[in-house]
Structure 1
Amino acid sequence: MPPSSPVTPPPAAGPPEPQRGSPPLAVELEGVLTRTHTLHEGLLRLLKHHPLQALASLGWRLEGRAFVRAEVARRVELDVARLPYDEVLVAHLGEEKARGRRLVLATAADQKVAEAVAAHLGLFEAVFASDGTRELTGAHREARLREALGERPEEARPREATMSRPRAIRKALRVHQWAKNVLVFVPLLAAHKALNLPMLLHAVLGFIAFSLCASSVYVLNDLLDLDSDRRHPTKRQRPFASGALSVRAGLWLAPVLLGAGAAVASLLPGEFLALLGTYYGITLAYSFLLKQVAMLDVLVLAGLYTVRIFGGSLAVGVPTSSWLLTFSMFLFLSLALVKRLSEVRRLRLANEPAAHGRGYVAGDYEQLSMLGVSSGYLSVLVLALYITSKEVTVLYAHPARLWLLCPVMMYWVGRVWLLAHRGEVNEDPLIFALKDKVSYVVGLIAACVLLAAT
């Protein structure tokens, strides 16, 4: 048998052949390379951290948009590594660069921001941007690129598909969170007036008003929390953090929702409208400042839950029992602490020392757990004291049967905290309860006990 012929190894792979005849590729940063606008994000950060300077920006407009961009970029440092880039376009640009094509970043964004983005991505051979005197847009942009490149470049287009706009708006409104506003019906149910149709209609209007105002706050909160949300494993998918909705859309959506909520509230007693305004003011203070203060943030959250109950009382015109308000305050404080515990647990698992934009550190885990469990069982104690009070005999024919509520509540509170320690409770305990079959069974048993005691 003749010896086999030697196998010739394939030639080593060299660099890809440069593209022949392809014009340079120009990429706009605003709304193309990223699904957001850096000027709008910069103004939001300025509003959050330097409100007076944000007001001064109204005067900067007299000097032109390029001047506004430069002043905002000088005062605010954007985290360019976490901007919502069009990942499909970025991958395409990487392929084009590997083929030898010239890539330039030509954007209306300020020079400082554009250079930071270019340094982060490492794709562009040149950066053209607004210089504080003239904005690089329209005919000026085209003329400058022709002069610098010697030919007209091809314009890059967005590649990555995002969620539909209606779906993004629904997510921004957090419609699932409207379940919290069912608390406005509690005074009506506690007074055994649920079959009174005029009062029930007032409660429904109160529910709608709170829901619209709450959604307005959620939009503002997400706009102010862009940096924190983009560092979070799940919150980074929120519409504004991901770029599915623009900052500009949020800035008109929030006041529209607030106006709609106020319009509905105007159909109810004036005291309800005043309380709704107070609720909105407190939630704004929470979004801007209070959520960064450890323990004060959870007290405010618990108070906002209780305000909903008080609002339901004002809407239907029945007095709210001090027992009910005290019970709800302790219970909702416990649930707010569940939310913080889950966030701190995530810090521990990620080996992060502190939560961004919050007042908690990884070492707060045990203390938060102790406070939360104690608060939850204090709410059960308040329930037990209510059962022994004189007020209960007015509403219930068989008040002794209400004692069955205590072990039911003890079980539910204990189970929530046990699962929270195991990491099985979502950061929002309400979402957990809405998805938890056991919670529905517990609610059904509690309703049967109340009916049996009536």
Structure 2
Amino acid sequence: MSSASPLTETSSPLPPLYVDLDGTLLRSDLLIESALELLKRNILYLFLLPLWLLAGKAVLKRQIAQRIKLRAELLPYNASLLTYLQQQKARGRKLVLISASDQALVDDVAEHLGLFEQAIGSNGQVNYSGRRKLARIQQEDSVFVYAGDNKVDLPIWEQASAAITVNLSASLQQRVLTHTALEQQCDYPAGSLRNYLRALRLHQWLKNTLVFLPLALAHQLDNPQLIINALLAFLCFGLCASSVYILNDLLDLPSDRQHRSKCQRPFAAGDIPLASGLVLSPLLLLSAFGIATVLPRAFVVILALYYLCTGLYSFVLKKIMLVDVILLAALYTLRIISGAAAISVVPSFWLLAFSMFLFFSLAVVKRYTELDYLRSAGGHQSEGRGYFAQDLSIMAMFGSASAFLSVMVFALYINNDETREQYLTPEILWLICPLLLYMVTRIWLLAARGQIEEDPIVFALKDRVSQVVTLVCGLLLWLANIHWRALLL
């Protein structure tokens, strides 16, 4: 939203315009972004951050800025305010960027935009916020206009000749207008319920339907208590996974903003305040473990192991080639193991072996599609990953070989004595093998054609052909449990 007042239409000399950075010109918070980037590089900085903060906010910001350099060209800007500033610059107006962020970060943004005559930031001793920012402005100009977004800016607006507001609540906007005139309102969409739901990635909860697989294979779909346990396990994994997704999004801001589709994620695009993610992620995690307490202890342990592994993946292992895809396959398999733990059954060796090979293949598909796009875009190395564009063919070899191995494991499972005891007509299970071959080879062909642009697990669960194949496989498993010889003879 952008609205103008008559102040912008006068022909008299325009007063200098002082512009806040975090939340005003930027749809983000540089302190949080740089702190997250610092922790991503070395989690041990978590113990230093409180010590720096005790010395003062300006010291904290300076210590982080000395270790982290953010790329100003990747940051999400307030498009309506940026357009307005460009118009004012063309009219010869003096523009000054002033922020409580560290001077180094403010300078980077100012240099990138090329709009400001001066850039003022915290200097390691003084944190330019509230009245301190006002005093710094008045050192330069006694008459000025100020653009801000927060209650802390009220003392500045009280002394300004006019205000430019960004995303203020109705009550705060009214308080501002009691002290000064409104020159411009430059809001941007932020914090809507839809954006928060997008951040949870509810569509990714489809992966957690794997927790129901042990229930189905144990032929316990008519047991109400076990069905309830499986549903609770599904909910726990969904909440835990959403917590992880938010954490990953917060840690992957620079790389997501360079991705063709991930740049639209709420945190990367600045549609949700980063501070909300820092609150929401642990809240979801606590909810998951709170619900998990009603399930068997083994499930709680597996859920904790899942979160630990995802944490290691987010901070360290996702950067190591092949280790990342092996861990992704293990995380999918953990969902199956957790489903078994929730209903107190032991998953078979064959199921675990089959799932590891199948999910390794699908995890490689994910990396393959990223490398394929990287190569087509003329890139050399994947951002934040340990892969290069020339790895494309060998990754395809790894993934397709693993896909075939998963089918072979299933074939060996059919010929197993335990299977012959569990199913009354195990020969019917052989019909599943060509269906599995068709499904996995089709996914790899689509990936090679560039037709899979999302997580291949989610693609397989949403794809109509894969749904039909899965349904037929389920039907064959049910038919294999009928004693056809007795019926036909």
Same fold, judged at TM 0.5 (above): yes
* 1:349-397 deviation line (CA, Å, top 9, x unaligned): 1110000100110000100101101101111101111111111222222
Q: Does the 8 A contact of 1:102 with 1:124 survive in 2?
A: yes
1:65-84 superposed matches below 5 A = 65-84=57-76
Question: What residue identity is the alignment partner of 2:103?
Answer: Q
For the pair 1:389 / 2:397, whether they are aligned, the reply is no
Matched residue, 2:124? 132
Three-state SS of the structure 1 residue aligned to 2:24 is: helix
Q: Quick one: distance in 1 between partners of 2:131 and 2:321?
A: 52
How far residue 160 of structure 1 moved from its aligned partner, in angstroms, is: 4.9
**Unaligned 5+ runs, structure 1:** 1-16
Give the CA RMSD over aligned residues: 1.5
Equivalent of 2:428 in 385, 401, 417: 401
Equivalent of 2:88 in 96, 101, 105: 96
Q: Quick one: distance in 2 between partners of 1:447 and 1:74?
A: 58
Greater CA drift, 135-144 or 191-200 = 135-144
How far residue 165 of structure 1 moved from its aligned partner, in angstroms, is: 2.3
Three-state SS of the structure 1 residue aligned to 2:468 is: helix
Q: Quick one: distance in 1 between partners of 2:137 and 2:291?
A: 53
How far residue 136 of structure 1 moved from its aligned partner, in angstroms, is: 1.0
Matched residue, 1:438? 465
Q: Does the 8 A contact of 1:146 with 1:153 survive in 2?
A: no
Question: What residue identity is the alignment partner of 2:65?
Answer: A
For the pair 1:221 / 2:213, whether they are aligned, the reply is no
How far residue 289 of structure 1 moved from its aligned partner, in angstroms, is: 0.6
Equivalent of 1:157 in 159, 165, 169: 165
Matched residue, 1:292? 319
Matched residue, 2:169? none
Three-state SS of the structure 1 residue aligned to 2:436 is: helix
For the pair 1:281 / 2:273, whether they are aligned, the reply is no
Question: What residue identity is the alignment partner of 2:244?
Answer: V
Question: What residue identity is the alignment partner of 1:387?
Answer: I
How far residue 85 of structure 1 moved from its aligned partner, in angstroms, is: 0.8
For the pair 1:267 / 2:267, whether they are aligned, the reply is no
Q: Quick one: distance in 2 between partners of 1:326 and 1:431?
A: 21
Runs of 4+ in 1 over 4 A off after TM superposition: none
How far residue 143 of structure 1 moved from its aligned partner, in angstroms, is: 2.4
Q: Does the 8 A contact of 1:23 with 1:154 survive in 2?
A: no
How far residue 61 of structure 1 moved from its aligned partner, in angstroms, is: 1.4
For the pair 1:355 / 2:379, whether they are aligned, the reply is no
- Identity among equivalent positions (%) equals 45
Greater CA drift, 241-250 or 323-332 = 241-250
Question: What residue identity is the alignment partner of 1:113?
Answer: L
Three-state SS of the structure 2 residue aligned to 1:59 is: helix
How far residue 55 of structure 1 moved from its aligned partner, in angstroms, is: 1.8
Question: What residue identity is the alignment partner of 1:93?
Answer: L
For the pair 1:313 / 2:340, whether they are aligned, the reply is yes
1:16-55 superposed matches below 5 A = 20-55=12-47
* 1:87-142 deviation line (CA, Å, top 9, x unaligned): 22111110111011111111111111111110000001112221111111112212
Question: What residue identity is the alignment partner of 1:84?
Answer: P
For the pair 1:336 / 2:363, whether they are aligned, the reply is yes
How far residue 19 of structure 1 moved from its aligned partner, in angstroms, is: 5.1
TM-score, reference length from structure 2: 0.87
Q: Does the 8 A contact of 1:26 with 1:104 survive in 2?
A: yes
Matched residue, 1:378? 405
Q: Does the 8 A contact of 1:19 with 1:100 survive in 2?
A: no
How far residue 438 of structure 1 moved from its aligned partner, in angstroms, is: 1.0
Three-state SS of the structure 1 residue aligned to 2:216 is: helix
How far residue 20 of structure 1 moved from its aligned partner, in angstroms, is: 2.2
Q: Does the 8 A contact of 1:18 with 1:101 survive in 2?
A: no
Q: Quick one: distance in 1 between partners of 2:285 and 2:32?
A: 21
Question: What residue identity is the alignment partner of 1:399?
Answer: P
Three-state SS of the structure 2 residue aligned to 1:108 is: strand
Q: Quick one: distance in 2 between partners of 1:368 and 1:245?
A: 36
Three-state SS of the structure 1 residue aligned to 2:119 is: strand
Matched residue, 2:49? 57
Question: What residue identity is the alignment partner of 1:255?
Answer: P
* 1:242-272 deviation line (CA, Å, top 9, x unaligned): 1111221111111111100101111011111
Q: Quick one: distance in 1 between partners of 2:66 and 2:190?
A: 33
Three-state SS of the structure 2 residue aligned to 1:123 is: coil
Three-state SS of the structure 2 residue aligned to 1:107 is: strand
* 1:175-204 deviation line (CA, Å, top 9, x unaligned): 111111111111110010111011111111
**Unaligned 5+ runs, structure 2:** 1-8, 148-163, 167-185, 482-489
Q: Does the 8 A contact of 1:18 with 1:100 survive in 2?
A: no
* 1:29-71 deviation line (CA, Å, top 9, x unaligned): 0111101110111111111113333421211112211111111
Change (3 A) 1:105 1:71: same
Question: What residue identity is the alignment partner of 1:157?
Answer: T
Report the count of equivalent residues.
Answer: 438
Matched residue, 1:144? 136
Greater CA drift, 281-290 or 154-163 = 154-163
TM-score, reference length from structure 1: 0.94
How far residue 290 of structure 1 moved from its aligned partner, in angstroms, is: 0.5
Three-state SS of the structure 2 residue aligned to 1:339 is: helix
Change (3 A) 1:164 1:71: closer
Q: Quick one: distance in 2 between partners of 1:33 and 1:434?
A: 40
Three-state SS of the structure 1 residue aligned to 2:23 is: helix
